[in-house]
Amino acid sequence: MSRTIGFRLAAWYALIFVLSALALFTLAYFLLSNALKEHDHEAIESEVQRYRTLEQSGGRAALLAAAQAQRKETMFVRVAGPQNETLFAHMPAGWDDFQWKQLESRAATQEREWIFLLGQLEGQLLEDPDTLEILSARLGDGSVVQVGRSTEMRGDILEYFQGVFALVTVAVLGVGLAGGVFWARRSLRPVRELSRGLREIRETSRIEARVPTRQTGDELDELTGQLNTLLETIESLVGRMRGALDDVAHDLRTPLTRLRGAAEIALRSNADAEASRQALAECLEQAEQMLVMLNAMMDVAEAEAGTMKLEREPVDVRALVESTVALYEHVAEEEGVTIRTDVGEGLTVRADGKRLRQAVANLLDNSLKYNRRGGEVRIEARRDGEQVVITVKDTGVGIAAEELPRIWDRLYRGEAGSAQRGLGLGLSLVRAVAVAHKGWVDAQSAPGNGSTFRMGLPVGSEGYPA
Ligand code: ADP
């Protein structure tokens, strides 16, 4: 629980609430206590001023009369003679802690001074005592008037204030925590929904399911969108891999069935040596076909991992193209497609001949496979600066624009591809070979009007111009 974001948010929320309340309180307490103190002092000052005026107008008699009339007020009054001898003193009821007699033993006030008496009990200072704040002033006739107030009332007010604050803090803490929990839960609800959605998908293995978005356009909605896109990518990848696995199984079944058939027949009949040899040759051929297929898959894997090993040698491009075309002449004839080549003489690249031939063969194979009867394939190679560009152009079905960027992906099979047998590995291998040679590939197509595939290879240090 304490590790959840919700809890931490709520805790921070409450903490900030309480800290702000504390800061506010400290400030208010300080201001209030100052204001109260000032108020008391002003009251004392004005009282002293009153006595001074009375004394000026009516002499000591008026002064004493006024002091005696003050008995009911919550003010301490003492009038003393010039030698500090008490003429009159009044201590309000309940202020017995203050021993005003101490004032008599002090040196007489000359002008005016503040005197602070601390509360006492039987000569002992009280614990946390109140203070009697006294303003002592000498009047014109030499007598001294002392007016004082206890801090008890101020203390009471401040204490009350503290009590109220403690209550408010508890309330604020409660509100802060409740608010924090509420907001944290509310703002994290989409995260929980997302998490629940993903857990459901994982538990039911339904990768075609999506987490619903709330259409608010906020960050969490965006995250959900990203996750859904990721799920889509995974789904399509898994789909392609399933399809590829099916294709591999399908493609392996035919040669394996033939292989088994040949072996069975050879074993069952009392075949002579010649027939056995023929059966073995058939087995070999089928095994070879399977190997080619598996090799292609491994080659692509290797090339994509960047670990394809190249056996570089100077390769005569014209000879390579011609020998590859020769291999496919038979197929082209069957498909009713004409192959034309246009390769300059003496065009050489430093490359892995076997792999390059494989790449050209794959391009040629596709251009025949996805062509139409009476169509044409043009293979050209020419030098362009420091590279050789091989172009294979067909007049076939073409490739839709949205498919174009994906045809190079491993195991991707386009719309045209699904009608034909294949593994979706051909073009990946072409690209892998080009990349391993530090070259490039690209494809252009006008759907219905054929496609053009290009492969560029750096001529390499042993490359010779045409
Ligand atoms: P495969 O041919 O085994 O399906 P490839 O990797 O060779 O796999 O090609 C991938 C996809 O690209 C094909 O399924 C096909 O849809 C498309 N394609 C490739 N070459 C051509 C072409 N010359 N004309 C039209 N479509 C092509």
* DSSP secondary structure letters along 277-303: HHHHHHHHHHHHHHHHHHHHHHHHHHH
* Phi and psi, residue 2, nearest 5°: -70, -10
* pLDDT over threshold 80, residue 131: yes
Contact indicator for 95, 77 with CB cutoff of 8 Å: no
**pLDDT beyond 70 at 185:** yes
Q: What is the pLDDT of residues 395-445, one digit of tens each?
A: 999 999 999 999 998 778 888 877 776 778 889 889 989 988 999 999 999
**Sequence-ordered list of residues with C-beta below 8 angstroms from that of 457, at least 6 positions apart, any chain:** 349, 351, 356, 387, 388, 390, 434, 437, 439
Can you read off the two tokens belonging to residue 457? Answer: 């290879």
Amino acid 271 reads A
- Structural contact between residues 373 and 338, judged by C-beta atoms closer than 8 angstroms: no
* Residue 126, token pair as written in the block: 């009280």
Cβ density class 97-122: b for 16+ within 10 Å, e for less: bbbbeebeeeebbeeeeeeebebeee
Judged by DSSP in three states, 26 sits in helix
Cα–Cα distance between 455 and 466 in angstroms, integer? 17
Which of 435, 462, 288, 418 shows the shortest CA–CA distance to 359? 435
CA–chain centroid gap for 274, Å, is: 72
- 418 CA: nearest ligand 1 atom: 14
Q: Name the residue at shortest CA distance from atom 19 of ligand 1.
A: 366
Has residue 326 got a pLDDT over 90? yes
For residue 453, the ligand 1 atom closest to its alpha carbon is 23
Whether the pLDDT of residue 59 is over 90: the answer is: no
Strands 338-343 and 376-384: parallel
What is the whole-number distance in angstroms between the Cα of residue 58 and the centre of ligand 1? 123
Residues 213-262: tens digit of each pLDDT: 888 888 888 888 898 999 898 888 888 788 778 877 877 888 899 999 98
Q: How many other CB atoms are there within 10 angstroms of residue 373's CB atom?
A: 7
Closest CA to 412 of 398, 427, 399, 397: 427
Which tens digit of pLDDT belongs to each residue from 253-288? 888 999 999 888 888 877 678 888 888 898 998 898
Does 33 have pLDDT greater than 90? yes
**Amino acid identity of 249?**
A
Dist CA 344 CA 346 (whole Å): 7
Alpha carbon of 406 to ligand 1 centroid (Å): 10
Pair 456, 438: CB distance under 8 Å: no
Q: What is the 235 CA–ligand 1 centroid distance (Å)? A: 22
How many whole angstroms separate alpha carbon 394 and alpha carbon 444?
A: 11
What are the φ/ψ torsions at residue 400 (nearest 5 degrees)?
-65, 150
Alpha helical stretches, state H, 1-117: 5-69
pLDDT at residue 271, as a whole number:
67
Backbone angles phi and psi of 459, in degrees to 5: -65, -25
What are the tens digits of pLDDT across the range 376-394?
999 999 999 999 999 999 9
Q: Which of 366, 371, 377 to mutate to test the pocket of ligand 1 (most atoms within 8 A of CB)?
A: 366
Mutate to test the pocket of ligand 1, among 407, 421, 429 (most ligand atoms within 8 A of CB): 407
Nearest atom in ligand 1 to the alpha carbon of residue 397 is 25
**CA–CA separation, 336 and 334 (whole Å):** 5
- As to burial, measured by CB atoms within 10 angstroms (0-12 exposed, 13-18 middle, 19+ buried), residue 86 is middle
pLDDT for position 37 = 93
> What token pair was written down for 300?
């692509």
**Residue whose pair of structure tokens reads 């996805």 in the numeric block:** 370
Containing 358, the helix (H) or strand (E) segment is: helix 353-369
Contacts with 247 (C-beta within 8 Å, 6 or more apart), sequence order: 422, 423, 424
Comparing CA positions, the residue from 140, 134, 153, 139 lying closest to residue 45 is 134
Name the least confident of 84-88, 147-151, 415-419: 415-419
* pLDDT reported for residue 1: 62
Output the CA–CA distances (angstroms, integers) from residue 322 to 25, 82, 140, 341, 437, in the order listed.
94, 137, 134, 8, 21
Candidates 376, 372, 283; CA nearest to 338 is 376
Using the structure block, give the residue that is written with the tokens 């002392």.
146
Sorted by sequence, the CB contacts under 8 Å of residue 306 that are 6+ apart come out as none
Mean pLDDT is lowest, of 162-166, 197-201, 299-303, for 299-303
Distance CA 55, CA 88 (A): 14
- Global confidence as pTM: 0.51
- The torsion angles phi and psi of 357, rounded to 5 degrees, stand at -65, -40
Q: What angle do CA 394, 398, 404 make, to 5 degrees?
A: 115
Least confident of 4-8, 49-53, 323-327: 4-8
Which residues have CB under 6 Å of ligand 1? Answer: 366-367, 370, 394, 396-399, 407, 412-414, 416-417, 422-428, 451
Token pair recorded at residue 363: 């391009």
Which run of H or of E encompasses 155?
A: helix 152-204
Which token pair is 238? 């898994």
